[in-house]
Amino acid sequence: MLSWAALFLIVALVAGIFGFFGIASAAVGIAKVLFFVFLILFVVSLIMGRRRSTS
């Protein structure tokens, strides 16, 4: 999922360079959402991993 966020960020940068600001703003929005979803899932997986007992 982090790779998708990076992909949309690259698309936004390229679109911004070529002057497609509508596409760039949409791609930046999608990249932000995907990044925060990835971050939340990462934190949840860290918490769930620590809750398991190894006994």
Is pLDDT larger for residue 51 or for residue 53?
Answer: 51
Q: What is the DSSP-derived secondary structure letter of residue 29?
A: H
Q: Is the pLDDT of residue 40 over 90?
A: yes
What is the per-residue pLDDT for 53? Answer: 60
pLDDT band at 46 (very low <50, low <70, confident <90, very high): confident
pLDDT in tens, 18-32: 887 788 888 888 888
Q: Would you say 28 and 9 are in contact if contact means Cβ atoms under 8 Å apart?
A: yes
